[in-house]
Each structure stands twice: as structure tokens, then as C-alpha cells.
Amino acid sequence: MATRVERLPYGIGRFTLGLYLLLVVLLMVVGWGIYAYSRQFTEGLVVTGLRDIGTMGGAAWGLYIAFDIYFVGVSFAGITTAALIRLLHLKHLKPVSRMAEVLTVVSLILAAFSVLPDLGQPVRGIINLFRYARPQSPFFGTFTLVVSGYLFASLVYLYLDGRRDAAILAKEKGPLQGFYRLWAAGYRDTPAERERHDRASFWLAIAILPLLVTAHSTLGFVFGIQSGRPGWFSALQAPGFVVMAGVSGIGLLAVIAAILRQALNEREQLHEGIFKWLGMFLVVLILIYLYFMVVELLTTTYAGHHHEVRVTLALLTGGYAWLFWGVVASLLLALVSLLLPYLPEPLRVRFPAFQPGYALATGLTAFVVGVFFILQRMGPPRGALLMLSPEVLRWIPWLLAVFLVLFVLSFFPLFTTSFVASAAVSGLLVNLAAIGKRLLIVVPSQTYGTLLPYGVGTYTPTWVEYSIIGGLFALGTLLYLLFVKFFPIMEVRTAEEGGH
Amino acid sequence: MARYAMVIDLDRCTGCRACMEACKVENNTPTATFWMYVFRFEEGEYPNTHIWFMPRPCMHCDNAPCVKVCPVGARYKREDGLVATDWDRCIGCRYCEVACPYGVNFFNWKEPSKNYYLDWRDKDLSPITNGAVPPYRNPDLEKPYGKERRRTAGGGRLKGVIEKCTFCVHRVEKGLQPACVANCPLFALHFGDLDDPNSTVSQLLRRKPSFRLLEELGTRPRVYYVGGHPPDTEARQIEEVKARV
């Protein structure tokens, strides 16, 4: 029996001690998130950092909404790559196709879950959103197009795509045989069946592509058509959402593919060409997004209404500047690291070879500066530590940022040779940027964007919000991991199956 | 069917905030909730300064952004023009709050009974309260109103639902004035039917030039201001209320 299980490809069903530990840790994080939610459910949303806009000086939407749109954004990856592969016959990308589809399904589930804690009456929400649905509300699109339609289409696509592999695996005896037979549902991989499947997935891919644009646009319209919120009211919001969704989705797909490449030791099947293609796609999307950002900034700062200017200045030089410039820096660093492998040979040589010393020095300095800054912010030090004036203190975060950028830069020589490393690292960077940008879309327009002269508001998330979001990430990782352990994450090669 | 509107005479307002007080008492709104709020502004440079006041109820817009975005129709426009909140249906998504340009929506961040200025369930206070019924048990506020018979009156309803100024629907349906209007000592606030040419509001609007707040957004508010000007960039708010729960 054990030997048969061993024969399943891609480590399916093999649970090592390390994996069990990981699962336990993930379950604990999910449990902590559930505990945090139970606090919120009994106490009300007062346990979050959210408050009313206006006289209460707060933001009514915060982390939950920001991560909701982030998760929906990530779902872009899956179905786009899968559909593009099918429509444009990008055969060499086939191995990431299922990874991408699973990413879509998991992130859509997370998106649906992150709306729930935002609702003051979640039970009513589940009932009333259907019972009294109003198509006039931009939320309607979020629930029909995104959460229902998109998720359903993705599940169907994933199912159809997996049937052949399920049929192959169902021939092996093992504890999972019944599951595979259920999935295959009579499919035998005959040429006629294959042809029919091919046609079905082709039409499904054609149907999904427009859904992709409309679904992500709907989410943009949730913000983009609110004339009462400066910073939201912009025609660029919807297309911006589509592009940013692509940036975060493709980025996360590259990260997951790189991790699986290492973990499953599938260097041949997940070849460099895949990462090269994902990287190039990412480059194009990042460039479009940067262009959108410049256009938006120029419009508001050059000729914007004074309310618009107030929000924009809060981003550029005010309380949100660290986040805004952090987002810009992450996007630019990602862009540079993606393009480094394309440097011509003579230029590449001039780059200093990677030296751990550089990384260590800049990393340590950044750490020291960061700790120093936190100590300074905590108030007058009790020892002989010097206390800086507020004017000098203002520049410390920027110093910290410089060293952090240098730290990342010191790793860059590594990427001049490897498409995989550069795609994975920039994938991580763009996802951090995406989360930051989502927060910058949601929050400042509420705290700085009141049209009547209320005071400036503040929003600081509490441990409850962080815990719930952490729990959601853990849940997503858990679901993904379990899928990988129960179903082949890439197409099964029949040669492996020993003569089937 | 009446077409209700409010006219606020800025020339008369002295910023006493009696309307805010009246609203809180009438509607039992919880702590840090101001359905009616009075801005106190200062303009100019010392010594040439000018102080003026601007009450801000819900604007009860004809093209209300909050009504448009509500995903379940809990926020709706009544035939007589009142913008009502059905707290039996609200799911607490706060979309109306972020959509509103005037910042008039207030969420029940915690159990309202725990969010009043006085905790009526506190055992130490029982000698003082002496078994009295809390003021938020106003039977008028429990009834359904309007042709649709939906429960829309009063505040401090339920944890996790949104609330805002109702134009005191429970008083208006009885033929009374909203609490803020009835309690203004200087007759700065007026309420009435725009379709009736002899109502105070119609007469005031005929006699004096008026403006509405943020009219450029196309929200078509039902609250008119006379005898002043909209707050511009020159207006600085003095002693702004920052009441958080």
C-alpha cells in the first residue's frame, strides 16, 4: 500500500513531519483568527480601529475592505493565465495553469470571507444580500459577478481541466482512488472525449475573459463612482483595479510556482521559460500601472479640486507618505529586478558579484536605524541615549527606507542570472505594493477626504483586524497546501505512470 | 403628498447647539453620535475675524448617494422626501457612510445599551435610577412608519446597524416639527412642505437667496440654507467635536 502511495506524482499523500508541523501552525493561526472574530462578533466592531467618518474622525472601511479587494485582485492570476494558455496555445506554460486556477479559487474564497467580518450584521448579510438584492448598488456586481459567477466559472474550469489527471490516477489503487474516480466521473481520456473537453474549455475560456474585465471593474466602481469621496471618484479607478489585480495575481503566481519548484524538485517541468513569461507579463502590467499612477497624480495635483489636492498631499508628503513611497519603491524595485536578467552580457559583468557582506551591512544598519526610530518614538529614553529633535526625527524613516532599498539592491546580482529568483522576488515585492496600494485607496479618502470641513481623521488597525487577516492568509495557505497534497498540482505525465 | 424640506437661517443661528441636544434626547442616540451637528467657524485674521455657525442635519437628498449604493434597500427614499433607514433590514456594510459626502451616518460600533451616557443596568446606579424606564424606551420610536410600514424611527437600535437623522419621522407623521426645529430658541431652523406656498419654508425660500451644501455633486439636498454662504477654504472650525467611542 505504502509503495503505491509513493508512486503518486508530486508528493501527493506524502505527509512528512515538517508538513504536519506546518499544518498545525497554520491551524493555530486560523484558530487565533477565529478567536479574534468571536471577540468582534460579541463586542461589535468597536474592537476594530474603524470609526465613523466626520465628527468621530475615523474611517468606516479599513483593513477588511482593503484585503477583500486585494484577494479578489489576486484571483485575476489564475483564470487569466489558464484562459490565455488555452486560447493562445501557450503550451510551455501548461504546468502553471492548474496552480493558477487553484490560486483563483482559494483567493476568491478568502475574499468572500474577508467581507463577512466587515459587516455589522453578518447573519443578516448572508440572507438579505440575496433576499433584497439591488442591482443599482455597486456591491451587487461584487456578489454576483465576482464571488458567484467568477468563482463558479473557475471551479468548473478547474474541474474540467483536472478530469484527465483524475482518470489517470484513478487507475492506481490507494486511499484516494475513490476521490479521483469521483472527479473523473467516467472520463477515460479517449480521443473523442479529449476533443470534447478541449472544445468545452475553449468556449469557457472565451466566456471567462470578458468576465475577468467586468468583474474587476465592478470592484473598481465600488469606489470609482462615489462623487462624495475625493481620491475615489475617478474614471481610472476601474481600469486601475483590473491592472493592479493582474500585477498582484501574476506576482503571487510566480512566488507559488517558485516555491513549488523548490519543494517538489520539479526543475524540468517548471522550467525557466515559464518564469521568463510570467516576468515579462508582470513587467508590462507594472508599467501600465505606473503610468496610471502618474496620470492620476498629475491630474489631481495640477488642476484638482482642493479636496482632491488635500488627499493627494496626504499621500505625497503627509501621514501616508511612507506607505505611498514604499509602494512606488516596491514597484520600481520589482521592475528593475525583472529586467536585470535581460541586461546585455558586458553590462552584467560590471555588476558586483553578490557579496553577503553588502547585504549583512545594509540589513544590519536598517535594523539598527529601525530600532533606534522606534525607541525615539516611544518617548524620552531612560538611559544615556540621545533624544533627537522632531525635525531630525522626521528624516529617520527615510534613512531607514534608503537602507532597506540598499538591502534589497544588494541581492540584485543574484537575479542577473536567474529568471526564477527575479520573478519570485519581484512577485513578493509587487504583492506588498498591492496591499499598500489597496490601503491607500481605501483609507485616506475617508480620513482626509471629507467634503465638509470636519477635522482630519485617523485610522489605526487593532490586533483584532490583524489577527483576522492573518487567519485568512493562514486559511488560504492551508487550503492550497491541502489541494497540493490531494491532487496533482501539475499535469501528470503519462510516462511517469509506468506504461499506462 | 407633502414635499418636506428644512430651511436653516444662518443669520439667526448663534451656535448654542440646542438642536444637537434636542436631537439626542428625542432620538436616544448613543454616545459620540450627532445626527444634528453645529459647525462653529472662524474666518479672517485677528483682529478682523468673524465667527459663524452652521447646523448640519442629514440633507435628505433627492438624489441620495446613500440610497443608490445600499445593497439591500435598507436606506430608501420615502414619497414625502425623507431618506429613511430600515434598521430591521440593514446589514451594517457602511457603504452608505462612505458614499455620503456630508458625513451624517453613524454606525452602532457596540451594543447601544452599553453605549449610552448612563449605564442603566449598572447596579451601583440603581438607587439613583430607582427602577425608572430608560429614556430610550420611547414607544413612538418602535412603531413602523410610512406607507411601507417599516421601522425607521429613533436611534441606538442594534449593534452593527447604521443610523442617521430621520427628520424625526415619528413626530412629522403626527404633524409635529422635528425636535431640532421645535427646540431652536431663535427660530433659525424651519421645517415644512415645499408644495404648500404658505408654509414657512416656501415663504423663506421665496424671500431670501438660498444655497444647498455641495450642490455641485448633484445630490439635490432637501436642506436649504439662507442668510449666509457655504463653508469655503477660509472657514476654520473652532473646537471641533472629536468624540470617539
Option in A50, A51, A128 nearest B72 (CB): A128
User: Reduced to 3 states, what is the DSSP secondary structure of residue B235?
Assistant: coil
Option in A46, A60, A306 nearest B94 (CB): A60
**Subunit contact B101:A43, Cβ cutoff 8 A:** no
Does the bond joining B65 to the residue before it have cis omega, within 30 degrees of 0?
Answer: no
- Residue A268, pLDDT score: 84
Q: How confident is the model at residue B194 (pLDDT cuts 50, 70, 90)?
A: very high
Per-residue pLDDT for B34 more than 70? Answer: yes
Find the farthest-apart pair of alpha carbons in chain A and give their distance in angstroms, rounded.
81
- Residue A283, pLDDT score: 96
Summarised one tens digit per residue, pLDDT across range A137-150 is: 998 888 777 778 88
**CA atoms of A330 and A321, how far apart (whole Å):** 14
Q: How far apart are the first and last CA of chain B?
A: 40
Summarised one tens digit per residue, pLDDT across range B69-99 is: 999 999 999 999 999 999 999 999 999 999 9
**CA atoms of B30 and A36, how far apart (whole Å):** 25
Summarised one tens digit per residue, pLDDT across range B217-237 is: 999 999 999 999 999 888 889
Of B44, B2, B47, B32, which Cα lies nearest the Cα of B169? B2
**CA atoms of A444 and A410, how far apart (whole Å):** 33
User: Reduced to 3 states, what is the DSSP secondary structure of residue B133?
Assistant: coil
Give the phi and the psi of residue B210 in degrees, each rounded to 5: -130, 165
Q: Do you know the residue count of chain B?
A: 245
Query: Chain A contact for B92, CB < 8 A?
Result: yes
Q: When comparing pLDDT for A396 and B193, which is higher? A: B193
**Angle CA A62–A63–A69, to nearest 5:** 100
Q: Which residues contact B207 (CB under 8 A, 6 or more apart)?
A: none
Q: When comparing pLDDT for B139 and B58, which is higher? A: B58
**Subunit contact B235:A453, Cβ cutoff 8 A:** yes
Give the phi and the psi of residue B50 in degrees, each rounded to 5: -140, 130
CA B28 from chain centre, in angstroms, equals 12
Chain B window 167-206: which residues touch A at a Cβ cutoff of 8 Å? none
Option in B33, B92, B233 nearest A120 (CB): B92
Which residue type is seen at B35?
W
Mutate which of A48, A134, A233 to disrupt the B interface (most B C-beta within 10 Å)?
A134
**CA atoms of B98 and B93, how far apart (whole Å):** 10
Q: Which residues contact A210 (CB under 8 A, 6 or more apart)?
A: none
A224 CA to chain B: closest CA distance, Å?
A: 11
**CA atoms of A345 and B155, how far apart (whole Å):** 71
Q: When comparing pLDDT for A326 and B212, which is higher? A: B212
**CA atoms of A312 and A316, how far apart (whole Å):** 6
**CA atoms of A471 and B40, how far apart (whole Å):** 45
pLDDT less than 50: residues of chain A:
1-6, 383-384, 496-500
Chain B window 117-156: which residues touch A at a Cβ cutoff of 8 Å? none
- Residue A5, pLDDT score: 40
**CA atoms of A324 and A316, how far apart (whole Å):** 7
For the record, the C-alpha cell of A26 comes out as: 497554520
- The answer to whether B203 and B222 are in contact (CB under 8 A) is no
Per-residue pLDDT for B135 more than 80? Answer: no
| Sheet bearing B236-237, strands edge to edge | B50-56, B37-43, B236-237
Say if residue A20 is exposed, middle or buried (CB neighbours under 10 Å; 0-12, 13-18, 19+). Answer: exposed
B-chain residues near A133 (CB < 8 A):
71-72
A447 CA to chain B: closest CA distance, Å?
A: 11
Give chain A's radius of gyration (CA, Å).
Answer: 24
Q: Which residues contact B85 (CB under 8 A, 6 or more apart)?
A: B74, B75, B152, B161, B162, B163, B164, B166
CA A358 from chain centre, in angstroms, equals 30
Q: What is the ipTM of this complex?
A: 0.92
A29 CA to chain B: closest CA distance, Å?
A: 26
Q: What percent of chain B has pLDDT over 90?
A: 77
User: Reduced to 3 states, what is the DSSP secondary structure of residue A396?
Assistant: helix
What residue ranges do the domains of chain B occupy? 4-237
User: Reduced to 3 states, what is the DSSP secondary structure of residue B224?
Assistant: strand
- Residue A499, pLDDT score: 40
A144 CA to chain B: closest CA distance, Å?
A: 12
> What's the pTM?
0.91
- The answer to whether A490 and A10 are in contact (CB under 8 A) is yes
B4-237 fold: Alpha-Beta Plaits (3.30.70)
Q: Which residues contact A278 (CB under 8 A, 6 or more apart)?
A: A96, A250, A253, A254, A257, A423, A427
Helices in B191-233 by DSSP H: which ranges?
A: 200-207
Whether the CA torsion A223, A213, A248, A146 is positive or negative: it is positive
Mutate which of A121, A142, A305 to disrupt the B interface (most B C-beta within 10 Å)?
A121
User: Reduced to 3 states, what is the DSSP secondary structure of residue A70?
Assistant: helix
CA A376 from chain centre, in angstroms, equals 33
CB count, 10 Å around CB of A451?
A: 20
Q: What percent of chain A has pLDDT over 70?
A: 92
- Residue A496, pLDDT score: 45
User: Reduced to 3 states, what is the DSSP secondary structure of residue B51?
Assistant: strand
Look-up of cell digits 444637537: B20
Mean of the per-residue pLDDT values of chain B: 92
Option in A118, A125, A452 nearest B103 (CB): A452
B-chain residues near A226 (CB < 8 A):
65, 69, 98-99
Option in A121, A306, A450 nearest B103 (CB): A450
- Residue A4, pLDDT score: 41
**CA atoms of A420 and A255, how far apart (whole Å):** 9
Which residue(s) pair with A102 in the sheet? none
